[in-house]
Chains A and B, each alone.
Chain A
Amino acid sequence: MSKRLIAMIKARILEVLRDRSALAWNLLFAPLLVIGMATVFSGGAQTVAKVGVIGDLPLTAESNAFLGTPAVSFYKETEPDKAIAKVQRQRIDMLLDLRSHPSRYWINSESAKGSLLQKMLLVTEPAAQEQPVTGARIRYADWLVPGLLSLNIMFSSLFAIGHVIVRYRKSGYLKRLNGTPLRAFEFISAQLLACLILMVVVSGGIFTACNLLLHLRMEGSYLNLLLVAALGSMTMIAMSLLVAARISSEELSGGLLNLISWPMLVLSGVFFSLDGAPGFVQTLSQLFPLTHMLEAARAVMLDGAGLADIAKPLTVMALMTLLFLALGASIFRWTQD
């Protein structure tokens, strides 16, 4: 690594570590949110029973009387294996396969909601065949923590990098750097690496603190989780670099970053599962790096997924990072327009 790159990374890390108020906020935000949300929703986040349905029939009572059951949310499932895993983890209360006659259904034998749904189903279709599965219910906190850590990474990366670069440009610091042999690529790489180092260290600290407090479920490898966090951070940082590549207004950058972060916050499944959400919402969520980071992190922590299992979200994040970096570097400006 070049001397210039190391100097730039060191300077940026010093700046962040000495900005105590911002650092304290970064360190406290996620744990406070975790504790708050885990307390509020410790009784279970889903107030309505949720049933995944496999088959081409429309989800109406005309197709199957059970589908007209009130207070139960039915949604289409297309990947049976993944759907069965959701029943095992009690992320959904029942899986119903309408392709066979009689229908088949999966419930978790340890789930009270599952038993209740079974009784209701058998009233309308007594011949339905049970495919029992077992598995401990995932606490909401276990499900929530990867989301909140990802959220913390997203906000920290987007705002720390985006705002800082715009401030540097507006104040003339970038112009001063442009007067040195430092190249745009080195500057951007240094910002990315400095932020990545800080993000991994801070997120690692927050994760450890949450783990000590809540004894989080960890089925997979910590190294894989670290990889997901690092790649997710890089994607967010690269996205932020793209936003900040040439604008000089902090107000505009703030607006753009909010425009990016809030849809991700709402539509990436941080607080609640997107299972059962309308199709266009699920399609839209695939455009957000946060969705892929969350999918991978939850798969590692809750399902013990290995690298091969999370290859898709990792690949998507890597491609997004490369795209954002290439676009950002190509339109980067040292000075104000």
Chain B
Amino acid sequence: MASVLAVRELRKFYPKVKAVNGVSFEVEEGQCLGLLGPNGAGKSTTIEMLEGLVKPTSGEILYRGKTLDANYRERVGMQFQHTALQDFLTVRENLNFFRSLYQRTMPLDQLIEACHLEDYLDRDHRKLSGGQRQRMLLAIALVNDPDLVFLDEPTTGLDPQARRNFWELVRSVKARGTTVVLTTHYMEEAYLLCDDIAIMDHGRVIARGSPQNLLAEHFNDSVLELPAAEVAGREIDLPLVHKEDRVEILSADVNAAVRKLLDAGLSLAQLKIRPRTLEDLFIQLTGKELRS
């Protein structure tokens, strides 16, 4: 598959911080790449360099095999983490305004339909709810019918319904063949939307692959969860991880683990068994300490 974006040894150094320190990856046509990482890992700086907004200290970014040029911004779409728009303009006026900035544009009615904006087109954009606003911002990111769209934490602060609704929109964008680069703090979102994931920390990519492959590479066990009260005072021949009001047991052989729990006389009525998740992997790779 052809690569839309290729990043080689990308670095961005500020006087006191190495924000990005040698990042390399490729994004294939029509794929969704998820950039994950704790706060300060270098995700936003990386995405801003990919968007052409921040100049790298060194390294190379190639769009369809060529270095970024003046035409690049005609071909890409962006949705920032925090975006303000001009006051007093309606949704329709904002869409038309941004459409006027590009040579190639998606027809307005197609854009409105794609992002479900029909019901509040003539509303002042400042009066939209969080979910409606994110859908409008996605529509703005798509006004030029881009080959490649950058979505920087687009669902942060949305309620679960609005978040799921937004995921559907991203899936429909992908279905059109558009390549997506997504940053998010929601592991479930990354697992569901991304074909490929790069986990960053301290300015570097520390793990890379599809969600399924990453989990398979790093874990061969499942998690068994029991209430802490159920386990208290019993002799169990399994490694236990105590977590507030519950206990986790990590085991590659779930059947054998369950047998040992039964042998120890535990009730399994509240036993939960789950496979490892991206969140487990994320915590394992980036640690548990609080980042600013």
B62 to chain A, nearest CB (A): 19
Interface residues in B61-80 (C-beta closer than 8 Å to A):
70, 73-74, 78, 80
Docked Cα-Cα span, A335 to B83, in Å, equals: 12
Docked Cα-Cα span, A176 to B137, in Å, equals: 10
Residue A126 interfacial (CB < 8 Å): no
- A14-B93, A178-B53, A179-B73 are contacts. A4–B101 as well, Cβ < 8 Å? yes
A99 to chain B, nearest CB (A): 62
Residue A113 interfacial (CB < 8 Å): no
Q: Is the CB of B93 within 8 A of A180?
A: no
Q: Which residues of A contact B100 (CB under 8 A)?
A: 3-4, 6-7
Q: Which residues of B contact A172 (CB under 8 A)?
A: 80, 82-84
Q: Is the CB of B74 within 8 A of A179?
A: no
Residue from A15, A171, A181 in contact with B74 in the complex, judged by beta carbons closer than 8 Å? A181
Interface residues in A14-28 (C-beta closer than 8 Å to B):
14-15, 18-19
Q: Is the CB of B98 within 8 A of A15?
A: no
Q: Is the CB of A180 within 8 A of B80?
A: no
Q: Which residues of A contact B74 (CB under 8 A)?
A: 181
Q: Is the CB of A176 within 8 A of B102?
A: no
Q: Is the CB of A179 within 8 A of B86?
A: no
Residue A182 interfacial (CB < 8 Å): yes
Q: Is the CB of B102 within 8 A of A181?
A: yes
Docked Cα-Cα span, A179 to B142, in Å, equals: 12
Q: Is the CB of A176 within 8 A of B93?
A: no
Q: Is the CB of B83 within 8 A of A182?
A: no
Residue B13 interfacial (CB < 8 Å): no
Q: Is the CB of A19 within 8 A of B87?
A: yes
Residue A29 interfacial (CB < 8 Å): no
Docked Cα-Cα span, A4 to B96, in Å, equals: 11
Per-position binary interface string of chain B over residues 79-116, scored 1 when its CB falls under 8 Å from any chain A CB and 0 otherwise = 01011111111000100111011110000000000000
Interface size class of A (residues with CB under 8 A): 20 to 34
Docked Cα-Cα span, A335 to B51, in Å, equals: 14
- Nearest A residue (CB) for B88: A18
Per-position binary interface string of chain B over residues 229-270, scored 1 when its CB falls under 8 Å from any chain A CB and 0 otherwise = 000000000000000000000000000000000000000000
Q: Is the CB of B101 within 8 A of A176?
A: no
B156 to chain A, nearest CB (A): 14
- A179-B80, A180-B73 are contacts. A15–B101 as well, Cβ < 8 Å? no
Q: Which residues of B contact A173 (CB under 8 A)?
A: 83-86
- Nearest A residue (CB) for B72: A181
Interface residues in B106-154 (C-beta closer than 8 Å to A):
none
Q: Is the CB of A15 within 8 A of B88?
A: yes
Docked Cα-Cα span, A19 to B70, in Å, equals: 35
- Nearest A residue (CB) for B52: A179
Q: Is the CB of A181 within 8 A of B73?
A: yes
Q: Is the CB of A11 within 8 A of B73?
A: no
Q: Which residues of A contact B87 (CB under 8 A)?
A: 15, 18-19
Q: Is the CB of B84 within 8 A of A179?
A: no
Q: Is the CB of A335 within 8 A of B53?
A: yes
- Enumerate chain B interface residues (CB-CB to A < 8 A): 51, 53, 70, 73-74, 78, 80, 82-89, 93, 96-98, 100-103
For the A-B complex with A19-B87, A175-B80 known, give 4 more contacts whose Cβ atoms are closer than 8 Å: A15-B89, A176-B80, A176-B85, A178-B53
Query: Can you report 17 A-B residue pairs in the complex whose CB atoms are below 8 A from each other?
Result: A3-B100, A4-B101, A6-B100, A7-B96, A14-B88, A14-B93, A15-B89, A19-B87, A175-B53, A175-B80, A176-B85, A177-B101, A178-B53, A179-B78, A179-B80, A181-B70, A335-B53
